[in-house]
Amino acid sequence: MFASVLIANRGEIACRIARTARKLGLRSIAVYSDADAGALHTRLCDEAYRLGPAPARESYLAIDKLVELARRAGAQCIHPGYGFLSENAEFAEACAAAGIVFVGPSPGAIRAMGLKGQAKKLMEHAGVPVVPGYHGERQETKFLAQKAEEVGYPVLIKAVAGGGGRGMRRVEEPAEFEAALQSAIREAQSAFGNGQVLIEKYIASPRHVEIQVFGDRHGSAMHLFERDCSLQRRHQKVIEEAPAPGMTPEVRAAMGKAAVEAAKAVGYVGAGTVEFIVDGSRGLRRDAFWFMEMNTRLQVEHPVTEAITGLDLVEWQFRVAAGEKLPSLDVAMAGHAVEARVYAEDPERGFLPSTGRIIALEFPARDGIRVDAGVEQGTQVTPFYDPLIAKVIAHGATRREALEALASALDRTLVAGPRTNLAFLAALCRAEDFRKAQFDTGFIDRNLAALGAVPKEPDRAAAAKGVAELLAREAKRIAAHARSASEEAASPWNSLDGFQLCGARAVWVPVSINGAPASASASYGPQGISVSIDGIAAAPDALAFEAENAVYVLRHGRQTLVRIKDFEAIDVDHLDTGGLVAAPMHGKVLAILVRPGASVSKGQRLAVIEAMKMEHALIAPFDGTVGEISATPGGQVAEGAKVMTIEAKKPEPV
């Protein structure tokens, strides 16, 4: 076994690897960017070294820096985690050239499976079924459009070097193809440094079932059963589980055999995942699954496999990389496990990434619940990396028991600061069709409203709770100031009870709720202050967390941000913004698609912003002419910052 490991990653997976390294007695070495200075993973490791600035290309993707740091720190091996350089053959080669073991497959295996087109050809030769499509080298737009027509719509455009849904677009008809292609190429180039794509037939009622495989340096390979990852949004997995609902021993044997053959075809070493697309319209069948891709690394969802097998897959990775043989175990499954990915995003605003400091953080502690987190209270969620806050995993005797335990755990998880998808995840766990195993990869998109992922009215009961907290805080501040000034406590001029000579003792308080103006009614009586907004009283079950000049209120998995506005201040939050096109989140401007003076139509794409590895298009609010453009391609923009203005078309004279 090794004596030391450099973990070439960040966040929860770096923390996860560090814990197993400690269990095995390895000295763990962390790396960090400027954005991650002092982060949790740097303190869980024995040592930590700065890589560079916040952008990943200057830090976590800088191969030369990583290898040099590993050499200086005396690391015997490098564990890449997942994402970043975990599937980069050049990184694996650089490690070998420096005499450092790469905890993963060989560069040849990474290359063979890393480019989807080549991988599919290899699988065809190995007798593994593949999805129909075009996997060749030609990349001209006209040619790819022709291939899409031949395959038949709907089709998927997929980055050949992709993963995690980045560089992937579903196209329903020919008119949408070119725009979707260019968007996929941009995203793939940004995420993987390779803009090449392939075209695949889109399978109706698709389910995403993957097989966990392991290979060693002695020619052995095995699988550790399957995971179902069909609950997705924009091709990003949201909830994963093991075993797959509806799986039969016969289909498991066939799919497992195909996965092991795929691994052996490239002499695979270490942990990998062979992913299959399944036609779920008639249940899981031996003749209705096709190879999609192989992820030559550990997967985000590996904890569900660990839960049902009792194994530590990271430990297996270290042992295989050290040259040990795969253990001769008769691995069996026990119970059912489900994992939910808690993200810093806002489901009510199209799942826009959410940034900011985590004001409060609390996870449930109970049997059968595991939490893998890479953040803590006080952590700053930045726009530079994936917005994953934590993974919550539930293990139960049955699938329904595991889903109920997970929903309950999500209800009790508290995150204040950035907005999260907690309420959305809990609703997914309780969705009856999902519980009945009647779902496919389109389930979330078809049920957004039922799952609460649509714009909703603010929670006035929660907001009233926030106003009450702010008023109480202000009362304490004034009382403390009065005492420090040696004023008499009985002075009526220091009283905040709303006293007046006639009528009810109440005042109107101007507030903002999630940035929108509102008024709260504050009444004072013998029992203290009571607050209501639009006649709705403060919720007793809401939890309030104070921040500077604001309160974050959590209730039913939703977050409400409340501020008290200055009586004399001008309401600039909601002045008529006219044609202002603002950034919906912190991020990087990938493209400005128009020029000043250009005529645009309502709904036309104006610019593209990337945040947390996802692209977001800004569109024209109405027909008009482009005015001032304030942002530049390649630059960073803050949430709410002006990108450009659109001047409305003047009505024709009559």
Q: pLDDT tens digits, residue range 531-589?
A: 999 999 999 999 999 988 899 999 999 999 999 986 444 443 433 456 889 888 788 89
Domains 335-456 and 580-648 in one fold: no
Selecting among 16, 227, 297, 419, the annotated active-site residue is: 297
pLDDT at 646 over 50: yes
Residue whose C-alpha is closest to residue 294's, from 122, 93, 80: 122
pLDDT at 505 over 80: no
Kindly report the CATH number that applies to the domain delimited by 460-564.
Answer: 3.30.700
Residue whose C-alpha is closest to residue 151's, from 129, 127, 126, 170: 170
pLDDT for the residue numbered 495: 52
Phi-psi category of residue 173: left, alpha or beta, with phi > 0 → left and psi -120 to 50 → alpha: beta
DSSP tag of 176: G
pLDDT in tens, 418-437: 999 999 999 999 999 999 99
**Domain 4-103 of CATH type 3.40.50.20:** yes
CATH topology for the 580-648 domain:
OB fold (Dihydrolipoamide Acetyltransferase, E2P) (2.40.50)
Q: Is 207 a catalytic residue?
A: no
> Per-residue pLDDT averaged across 344-355, rounded?
93
pLDDT for the residue numbered 115: 75
pLDDT for the residue numbered 426: 98
pTM of the shown model: 0.82
pLDDT at 78 over 90: yes
Pairing of β 4-7 and β 77-79: parallel
Burial class (CB in 10 A: 0-12, 13-18, 19+), 267: middle
pLDDT in tens, 269-295: 999 999 999 988 888 999 889 998 899
Kindly state the tokens that stand for 500. 């007046």
**Least-confidence region, from 379-388, 514-523, 564-573:** 564-573
One-letter amino acid for residue 49 of the chain? Y
User: What homologous superfamily is domain 132-201 in, according to CATH?
Assistant: ATP-grasp fold, A domain (3.30.1490.20)
Taking 3-state DSSP, the helix, strand and coil percentages for the chain, each rounded to the nearest 5, stand at 30, 35, 40
Mean pLDDT over the full length of the chain:
90
Residue 613: pLDDT band (50, 70, 90) is low
Residue 493: pLDDT band (50, 70, 90) is very low
Residue 20: pLDDT band (50, 70, 90) is very high
pLDDT at 309 over 70: yes
Percent of the chain at pLDDT > 70 equals 92
**Least-confidence region, from 27-36, 91-100, 480-489:** 480-489
Kindly state the tokens that stand for 243. 């075993």
451 φ/ψ angles, rounded to the nearest 5 degrees: -90, 0
355 φ/ψ angles, rounded to the nearest 5 degrees: -120, 175
**What are the boundaries of each domain within the chain?**
4-103, 132-201, 204-329, 335-456, 460-564, 580-648
User: What homologous superfamily is domain 204-329 in, according to CATH?
Assistant: ATP-grasp fold, B domain (3.30.470.20)
CATH architecture of residue range(s) 335-456: 2-Layer Sandwich (3.30)
**Least-confidence region, from 40-54, 87-101, 125-139:** 125-139
